[in-house]
C-alpha cells in the first residue's frame, strides 16, 4: 500500500495520468499509482483482508445499483465456501455499457485499462476466484484493442497468476444486466434469467460469480493501494470517494468527468465549459433514471442522498442536459419507443406494457391522444413495473413517469394542440448511431 | 406459502386465474397479477392445483424461505 | 379348420378390435382438437381453459385405453396372425405388414407422447414440448393404418367416421396454423400445405386402393385367409 503522503490528494484519482491519445502503459501506470498489492504468493493468500478495507472504505457499485461492494465480496466468498467440491468463484468485469449516453467504462478500457484489470485481479484474489472475464460491447473496437494490448503487456511483465479472458457482448440495452452477462458467459444468449439463484450463488458454469462494473473495479484498484481513509477523504459519508460521470446534451464540452460525490451540478457544468443554452431539465441516471426540472439545477448536489429528495439518483453517472429548445414530448416518445424495442422479449408485461405506453405517448406527441390517455398510461406503468425478470421495465417506467411530471405542461399542450415548433428540431437525447440512421431513413 | 410467477416461462395461458381467482387476476394482456398475501390453509389445495395446471410450469408455490429476492 | 365355437369367439375379438380401433381414432381426433384449442387459448364461460386442458389429458388417456383393448383383441383373434410384438415393431408381421406396421408406428408415437407427458415435470418444458409435436405425426399414420388394415373400410360407417375425423383435424390444424401468424410463417404454411396434400392424397388413393378391387390381397392379407373371409359375418365383401 502507498504511504499516506504518497497518496494523491483530491482529484483526479481514476483519471490521473490520463493520456491525450491511446492508453496509459503498464509501466507508467505503476509509476503513477504504485505497484499492485497482494501480488506475491504470500500476499495473495491473505487477499481476503482486502474485503475489510473495502468495507471500511464504503465503496458502492458504479454500475447503477450502488450496492455496497464489501457485501457482494463477502456473499461470493461465503457461497464459494458452501459449494460441494469447493467450486472456485469467477469474476466478471462489466464494461459492456449498454446505456447510450454513458461513456465512462469505454473510456477506462481505451485509456486506462490497467486500472480495470488491476481491480479485476484484486477482486479475484479477494474472493479466491481463478478466472476473470472482461465483458466488452462487441462494437467497441478501440476498447477491445486497448484491452488486448494491455493483457499482452501484463503477460510480458509476468502475468497475474490468473486466467483472464475477454467476452464480447452483443448490442442491447439489457445485454449487460448482471444475469444476462452470466447467461452469455455460460454459453447462452445475453438475456436476463430468473433470479434466485443470484449470480453470487450460482452463476457462470454454476460457479459463484462476482459481477462488477469496470469503474467499481478501478476504484478498488486504488483503495487497495491507498487505503480506506484516503478513499473517504473525498465524497460524502454515504457516498464516499470519487465517481466518473458522463455529461452530455446542452453543454460546451460533453464527455467523461471525474467528480467528488456531493459536488454541485453547476460546478460540473462550469468545468465542462458551461451550458450552451438555457436548460429545461436534466436527466440523471440514464434512460432508466429520472428527470429533474431545470429550476432545481442550481441546488443539485451529485450524491444519491441529496438527489433522492428530487426523485432521482446518480445511477451509472449518466447526465443529459436538455435545452429549452428541445421538445421534451418528442424526446420522451422517441426514447420510450426505443426502450420498448430493447425489451429482451421474454416477459409479457414488459413486452406489451412498454409497447402500449410508447404507443400512447406517440399519440400524445402527434396530438392524436384520445380522452383518458393519462389514466391508461398510468395503469400500464403500474402493470409493467416489477413484473419482469429484470428491472428494465421498472427503469423505463421511472423515466416515463418522471418525464410526465416534469414536462406536464408540454404534455398537456401536445394533447390539446398536437405537434409544437420544437418537435422538428434535432433530437438531443442520444441513441446508438445505427438506430438514428434507421430513423432518419 | 406464497405464489410466485416465473415471468420468462409464463405464456399467458390463464388457467391459474381460473383456478385461484382469490389470489390471481389477469392483466390487459392475459398475464397473471399475483396477490402478495400468503396462501391460507383453505386455499392451499386450490393453489396447488393452480400450480400443477400451469402448462409451462411458470406458477410456483413456495415456502417463504425459498422466495429469495429478484435481482 | 375353424370350429363354430372358434368362429364365434374369434369373431367377437374381431368385432372388438375393429370397434375399439374406430373409437380410438375418434378419441385421438378429439384429443388433437382439444390440444389445438388449448394452445390457441380458446375458452368460453362454460368451457374454461383448465377444463379443456383436463379434457385433453383425459381423452388422450381414454384413447390409449381403447387402443390397448384394440391391440389385445387383435392379438387374441385367431383369424389374422397378429402377434403382440407387431403392435410395437412395425412391418415384421405377416398380416398386411405395411398397413399394420403403420399402426405400430402410430402406437409407438402415442406411447412416447403419453409417457413424456406423465413425467413432464421431471423432463422439463422444452423436451416435453418437442416430443409432443409427434402427436401431429401420430394421427395421420393412425388414419392410414385404419384405412389400409381395417376390413370395414368399404362400409359407410367407417368411411363416414374417417372423413369426419379428417375434417375435424384439418380444421384444427388450420386454426393452429393461422393463430400466431406470422411468426414461423414458413412452418405454418408448410403445415397447411401438408394437411391439404394429405387430404388430396386420400381422395386420389382411396378409390383405387382400399375402396377398390382386391384390396385385401394387394394389402398383404396372407393368401390362406383370402378365401375364408366369408366365414366371418362382416360387412366386408369378399375380396374377389
Average pLDDT score over residue span B13-19: 95
| Beta carbons of B7 and A388 less than 8 Å apart | yes
pLDDT, residue C231, reads: 44
Task: Write the CA distances from A19 to A16, A59, A245, integer angstroms.
Answer: 9, 26, 18
pLDDT, residue B64, reads: 80
Listed in sequence order, the DSSP H helices in chain B are 15-19, 44-53
Using alpha carbons only, what angle is made at residue A113 by residues A107 and A116, rounded to the nearest 5 degrees?
95
Residues 6+ away with beta carbon under 8 Å from A168: A135, A136, A137, A138, A144
pLDDT, residue C235, reads: 43
Residues 6+ away with beta carbon under 8 Å from A43: A37
Instruction: Supply the pTM of this predicted model.
Output: 0.89
Quote ipTM for the complex: 0.93
The CA distance from C142 to C107, in Å, is: 8
> Mind listing the pLDDT tens digit of every residue in chain C (240 residues)?
555 555 555 688 888 998 999 999 999 999 999 999 998 888 898 999 999 999 999 999 999 999 999 999 999 887 778 888 988 999 988 888 898 999 999 999 999 999 999 999 899 898 999 999 999 999 999 999 998 887 777 788 888 999 999 999 999 989 888 876 666 788 888 888 988 999 999 888 888 888 887 888 888 888 777 765 544 444 444 443
The CA distance from B66 to A71, in Å, is: 21
| Beta carbons of C53 and B57 less than 8 Å apart | no
Considering only alpha carbons, which residue of chain C is nearest residue B56?
Answer: C125
By Cβ distance, the residue of B8, B27, B29 closest to A389 is B8
A213: left (phi over 0), alpha (psi -120 to 50) or beta: beta
pLDDT, residue A82, reads: 80
Cell reading at A79: 457461497
By Cβ distance, the residue of B15, B30, B57 closest to C53 is B15
pLDDT, residue A434, reads: 65
The CA distance from C110 to C64, in Å, is: 8
Considering only alpha carbons, which residue of chain B is nearest residue A200?
Answer: B71
pLDDT, residue A92, reads: 98
> Mind listing the pLDDT tens digit of every residue in chain A (441 residues)?
666 555 666 889 999 999 999 999 999 999 999 999 998 888 888 888 999 999 999 999 999 999 999 999 999 999 988 877 768 999 999 999 999 999 999 999 999 999 999 999 999 999 999 999 999 999 999 999 999 999 999 999 999 999 999 999 999 999 999 999 999 999 999 999 998 899 999 999 999 999 999 999 999 999 999 999 999 999 999 999 999 999 999 999 999 999 999 999 999 999 999 999 999 999 999 999 999 999 999 999 999 999 999 999 999 999 999 999 999 999 999 999 999 999 999 999 999 999 999 999 999 998 888 999 999 999 999 999 999 999 999 999 999 999 999 999 999 999 988 899 999 888 999 998 766 555 554
pLDDT, residue C230, reads: 45
Burial class (CB in 10 A: 0-12, 13-18, 19+), A45: exposed
Among A298, A292, A294, CA closest to A267: A298
With beta carbons less than 8 A apart as the criterion, state whether A137 and A239 touch: no
Among A158, A182, A159, A184, CA closest to A171: A184
pLDDT digit string, tens, across residues C20-65: 999 999 999 999 999 999 988 888 989 999 999 999 999 999 999 9
| Beta carbons of A389 and B31 less than 8 Å apart | no
Considering only alpha carbons, which residue of chain C is nearest residue B20?
Answer: C50
Residues 6+ away with beta carbon under 8 Å from A187: none
Considering only alpha carbons, which residue of chain B is nearest residue A385?
Answer: B33
Is the four-CA dihedral A221, A222, A224, A229 of positive or negative sign? negative
Residues 6+ away with beta carbon under 8 Å from A366: A418, A419
By Cβ distance, the residue of B18, B53, B56 closest to C125 is B56
| Beta carbons of C38 and B12 less than 8 Å apart | no
pLDDT, residue C155, reads: 82
| Beta carbons of B14 and C53 less than 8 Å apart | no
Among A247, A269, A266, A280, CA closest to A101: A247
Average pLDDT score over residue span B22-42: 94
By Cβ distance, the residue of B30, B53, B57 closest to C125 is B57
Using alpha carbons only, what angle is made at residue A167 by residues A24 and A316, rounded to the nearest 5 degrees?
65
Considering only alpha carbons, which residue of chain B is nearest residue C41?
Answer: B13
Cell reading at C66: 381403447
Instruction: Answer whether B33 touches A (CB < 8 Å).
Output: yes
The CA distance from A121 to C127, in Å, is: 40
The CA distance from A131 to A207, in Å, is: 11
DSSP string for residues in A209-272: EEEEEHHHHHHHHHHHHHHHHHHHTSB-SSSBSEEEEEEEESBSS-EEEEEETT-BHHHHHHHT
Hey, how many other C-beta atoms are within 10 angstroms of the C-beta on A420?
17
Neighbour-count burial for B25-51, b at 16+ CB within 10 Å, e otherwise = eebeeebbebeeeebeeebeeebeebb
The CA distance from A376 to A386, in Å, is: 18
The CA distance from B10 to C41, in Å, is: 13
Instruction: Answer whether B64 touches A (CB < 8 Å).
Output: no
The CA distance from A344 to B14, in Å, is: 22
Listed in sequence order, the DSSP H helices in chain C are 4-39, 49-76, 97-118, 120-123, 125-132, 135-149, 156-178, 185-208, 215-218, 223-226
Among C138, C134, C176, C164, CA closest to C34: C176
Among C11, C17, C138, C134, CA closest to C68: C17
With beta carbons less than 8 A apart as the criterion, state whether A292 and A281 touch: yes
Residues 176-235 of A with CB under 8 A from B: 177-179, 192-198
Amino acid at each position: 500500500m502507498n504511504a499516506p503522503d504518497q497518496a494523491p490528494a483530491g482529484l483526479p484519482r481514476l483519471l490521473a495520468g490520463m493520456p491525450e491519445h491511446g492508453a496509459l502503459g503498464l509501466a507508467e501506470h505503476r509509476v503513477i499509482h504504485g505497484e499492485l498489492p497482494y501480488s506475491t504468493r504470500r500476499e495473495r493468500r491473505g487477499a481476503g483482508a482486502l474485503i475489510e478495507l473495502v468495507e471500511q472504505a464504503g465503496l458502492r457499485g458504479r454500475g447503477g445499483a450502488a450496492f455496497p461492494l464489501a457485501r457482494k465480496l463477502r456473499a461470493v466468498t461465503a457461497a464459494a465456501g458452501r459449494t460441494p467440491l469447493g467450486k472456485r468463484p469467477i469474476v466478471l468485469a462489466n464494461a459492456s455499457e449498454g446505456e447510450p449516453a454513458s461513456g465512462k467504462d469505454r473510456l477506462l478500457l481505451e485509456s486506462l485499462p490497467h486500472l480495470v484489470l488491476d481491480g479485476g485481479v484484486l477482486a479475484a484474489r479477494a474472493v479466491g476466484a481463478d478466472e476473470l472475464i472482461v465483458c466488452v460491447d462487441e462494437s467497441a473496437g478501440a476498447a477491445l484493442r486497448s484491452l488486448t494490448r494491455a493483457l499482452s503487456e501484463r503477460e510480458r511483465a509476468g502475468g497475474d497468476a490468473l486466467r483472464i479472458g475477454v467476452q464480447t457482448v452483443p448490442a442491447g440495452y439489457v445485454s449487460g444486466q448482471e444475469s444476462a452477462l452470466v447467461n452469455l458467459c455460460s454459453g447462452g444468449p445475453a438475456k436476463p434469467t430468473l433470479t434466485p439463484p443470484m449470480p453470487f450463488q450460482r452463476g457462470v458454469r454454476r460457479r459463484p460469480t462476482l459481477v462488477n462494473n469496470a469503474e467499481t473495479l478501478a476504484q478498488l484498484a486504488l483503495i487497495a493501494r491507498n487505503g480506506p481513509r484516503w478513499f473517504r477523504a473525498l465524497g460524502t459519508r454515504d457516498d464516499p470517494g470519487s465517481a466518473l460521470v458522463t455529461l452530455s446534451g446542452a453543454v460546451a464540452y460533453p464527455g467523461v468527468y471525474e467528480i467528488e460525490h456531493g459536488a454541485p451540478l453547476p460546478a460540473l457544468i462550469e468545468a465542462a465549459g458551461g451550458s450552451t443554452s438555457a436548460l429545461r431539465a436534466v436527466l440523471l441516471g440514464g434512460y432508466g433514471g429520472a428527470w429533474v426540472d431545470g429550476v432545481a439545477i442550481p441546488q443539485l448536489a451529485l450524491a444519491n442522498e441529496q438527489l433522492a429528495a428530487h426523485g432521482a439518483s446518480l445511477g451509472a453517472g449518466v447526465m443529459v442536459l436538455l435545452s429549452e429548445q428541445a421538445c421534451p414530448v418528442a424526446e420522451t416518445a422517441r426514447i420510450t419507443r426505443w426502450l420498448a424495442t430493447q425489451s429482451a422479449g421474454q416477459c409479457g408485461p414488459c413486452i406489451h406494457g412498454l409497447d402500449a405506453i410508447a404507443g400512447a405517448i406517440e399519440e400524445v406527441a402527434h396530438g392524436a391522444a384520445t380522452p383518458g390517455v393519462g389514466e391508461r398510461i398510468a395503469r400500464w406503468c403500474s402493470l409493467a413495473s416489477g413484473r419482469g425478470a429484470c428491472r428494465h421495465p421498472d427503469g423505463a417506467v421511472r423515466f416515463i413517469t418522471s418525464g410526465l411530471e416534469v414536462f406536464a405542461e408540454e404534455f398537456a399542450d401536445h394533447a390539446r394542440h398536437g405537434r409544437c415548433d420544437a418537435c422538428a428540431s434535432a433530437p438531443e437525447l442520444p441513441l446508438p448511431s445505427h438506430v438514428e440512421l434507421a430513423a432518419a431513413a | 406459502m406464497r405464489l410466485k410467477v416465473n415471468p420468462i416461462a409464463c405464456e399467458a395461458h390463464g388457467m391459474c386465474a381460473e383456478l385461484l381467482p382469490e389470489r390471481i387476476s389477469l392483466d390487459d394482456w392475459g398475464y397473471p397479477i399475483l396477490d402478495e398475501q400468503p396462501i391460507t390453509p383453505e386455499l392451499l389445495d386450490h393453489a396447488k392445483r393452480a400450480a400443477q395446471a400451469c402448462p409451462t410450469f411458470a406458477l410456483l408455490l413456495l415456502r417463504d424461505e425459498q422466495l429469495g429476492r429478484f435481482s | 379348420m375353424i370350429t363354430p365355437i372358434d368362429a364365434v369367439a374369434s369373431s367377437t375379438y374381431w368385432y372388438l378390435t375393429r370397434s375399439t380401433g374406430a373409437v380410438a381414432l375418434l378419441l385421438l381426433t378429439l384429443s388433437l382438437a382439444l390440444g389445438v384449442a388449448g394452445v390457441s387459448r380458446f375458452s368460453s364461460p362454460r368451457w374454461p381453459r383448465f377444463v379443456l386442458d383436463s379434457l385433453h389429458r383425459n381423452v388422450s388417456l381414454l384413447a390409449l385405453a381403447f387402443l390397448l383393448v384394440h391391440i389385445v383383441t387383435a392379438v387374441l383373434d385367431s383369424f389374422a396372425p397378429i402377434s403382440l410384438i407387431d403392435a410395437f415393431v412395425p412391418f415384421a408381421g405377416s398380416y398386411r405388414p405395411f398397413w399394420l406396421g403403420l399402426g405400430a408406428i402410430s402406437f409407438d408415437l402415442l406411447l412416447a407422447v403419453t409417457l413424456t407427458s406423465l413425467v413432464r415435470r421431471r423432463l422439463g418444458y422444452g423436451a416435453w414440448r418437442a416430443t409432443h409435436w409427434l402427436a401431429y405425426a401420430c394421427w395421420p399414420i393412425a388414419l392410414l393404418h385404419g384405412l389400409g388394415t381395417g376390413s370395414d373400410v368399404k362400409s359407410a360407417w367407417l368411411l363416414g367416421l374417417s372423413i369426419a375425423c379428417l375434417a375435424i383435424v384439418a380444421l384444427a390444424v388450420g386454426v393452429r396454423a393461422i393463430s400466431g401468424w406470422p411468426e414461423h410463417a414458413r412452418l405454418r404454411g408448410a403445415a397447411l400445405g401438408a394437411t391439404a396434400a394429405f387430404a388430396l392424397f386420400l381422395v386420389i388413393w382411396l378409390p383405387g386402393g382400399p375402396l377398390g378391387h382386391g384390396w385385401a390381397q394387394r394389402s398383404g392379407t396372407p393368401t390362406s385367409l383370402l378365401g375364408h373371409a366369408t366365414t366371418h359375418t362382416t360387412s366386408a365383401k369378399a375380396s374377389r
